[in-house]
């Protein structure tokens, strides 16, 4: 009988220890529970050169007129920089935390900077759209490299935007958010490429029958201004991933 009681006591102690080690952690405040999340596994980046990957939907990107990838990275002022091929670089750019920007190897004379979580045009900048984060970036990049472009596309909220900067000056910017029916930006004269693509859009407040942009328009203007990211062609290459200092 004593042996049975001893075994039962041992099992009870084991059960209590197990319960405590696996139960939520309570703070000093009453009725407040803090569940400690499991740490995320760090992203692994591979520098083995590989073929370009198509992109363009549900993301944002910059295009810079340069084949000097190192200089582009330096101009962006990244931290936590790693060499990364297309496969692992895109994985970082499309990661759940949106921290990493992928600076691609040169593609037909251009360098792309891809990231799904970068600030969009966001709210309507009535005073000066040049203060929007992506516009400030392309203006800065164009001061160094002559030409820089921004593209944004996300079908869930119907966010479609594109912008062009030359030699430190904003030439053209257009942005539309279908979710709220807002034109976020419409700066500069319609470019020749937009006109040829019939990318003339109305006012959502005054024109119910107006044509509105879609994700194919973003791809079309990217192809006309720079390179179509869905059909790009280049050899094996390695780029970089990095995070903005402000992130």
Examine the domain organization and report whether 65 and 148 are in the same domain. Answer: yes
- Band (pLDDT 50/70/90 cuts) for residue 98 is low
Examine the domain organization and report whether 119 and 13 are in the same domain. Answer: no
Question: CA dist 9 to 6, 22, 36, 114, Å?
Answer: 5, 20, 30, 60
Residue 44 lies in a domain: no
Residue 45 lies in a domain: no
Is 231's pLDDT higher than 80?
A: yes
Examine the domain organization and report whether 104 and 165 are in the same domain. Answer: yes
Is 55's pLDDT higher than 50?
A: yes
State the average pLDDT over residues 166-183: 93
User: What pLDDT score does 205 carry?
Assistant: 64
Is 10's pLDDT higher than 50?
A: no
Closest to 213 in 3D by CA, of 231, 198, 196: 198
Q: How many domains does the structure of the chain reveal?
A: 2
Examine the domain organization and report whether 18 and 140 are in the same domain. Answer: no
Residue 29 CA, chain-centre distance (Å), reads 39
Examine the domain organization and report whether 213 and 143 are in the same domain. Answer: yes
Q: Identify which has the larger pLDDT, 56 or 211.
A: 56
Range of the structural domain that residue 224 is part of? 59-243
Contact 150, 120 (CB under 8 A): no
Residue 139 lies in a domain: yes
Mean pLDDT, rounded, of the chain: 84
- Band (pLDDT 50/70/90 cuts) for residue 181 is confident
Examine the domain organization and report whether 100 and 169 are in the same domain. Answer: yes
Residue 196 lies in a domain: yes
Is residue 242 within a helix (H) or strand (E), and if so which, with residue range?
strand 238-243
Examine the domain organization and report whether 96 and 182 are in the same domain. Answer: yes
Contact 177, 185 (CB under 8 A): no
Helix, strand or coil, per DSSP, at residue 60:
strand
User: What pLDDT score does 44 carry?
Assistant: 87
Would you say how long the chain is, in residues? 247
Examine the domain organization and report whether 155 and 106 are in the same domain. Answer: yes
Examine the domain organization and report whether 11 and 71 are in the same domain. Answer: no
Examine the domain organization and report whether 98 and 185 are in the same domain. Answer: yes
Examine the domain organization and report whether 123 and 66 are in the same domain. Answer: yes
Contact 101, 240 (CB under 8 A): no
Examine the domain organization and report whether 157 and 226 are in the same domain. Answer: yes
């Amino acid at each position: 009988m004593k042996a049975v009681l001893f075994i039962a006591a041992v099992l009870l102690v084991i059960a209590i220890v197990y319960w405590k080690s696996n139960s939520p952690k309570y703070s000093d405040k009453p009725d407040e529970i803090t569940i400690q999340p499991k740490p995320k596994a760090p992203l692994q980046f591979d520098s083995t050169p590989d073929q370009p990957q198509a992109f363009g939907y549900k993301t944002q990107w910059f295009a810079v007129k340069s084949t000097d990838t190192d200089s582009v990275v330096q101009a962006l002022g990244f931290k936590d920089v790693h060499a990364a091929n297309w496969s692992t670089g895109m994985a970082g750019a499309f990661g759940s935390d949106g921290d990493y920007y992928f600076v691609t190897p040169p593609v037909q004379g251009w360098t792309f900077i891809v990231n799904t979580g970068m600030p969009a045009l966001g709210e309507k900048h009535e005073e000066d759209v040049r203060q929007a984060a992506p516009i400030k970036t392309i203006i800065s990049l164009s001061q160094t490299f002559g030409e820089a472009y921004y593209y944004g596309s996300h079908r869930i909220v119907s966010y479609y935007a594109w912008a062009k900067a030359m030699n430190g000056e904003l030439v053209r910017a257009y942005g539309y958010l279908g979710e709220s029916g807002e034109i976020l930006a419409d700066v500069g004269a319609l470019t020749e490429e937009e006109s040829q693509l019939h990318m003339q859009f109305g006012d959502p407040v005054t024109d119910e029958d107006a044509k509105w942009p879609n994700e194919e328009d973003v791809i079309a203007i990217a192809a006309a201004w720079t390179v179509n990211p869905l059909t790009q062609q280049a050899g094996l290459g390695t780029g970089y991933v990095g995070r903005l200092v402000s992130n």
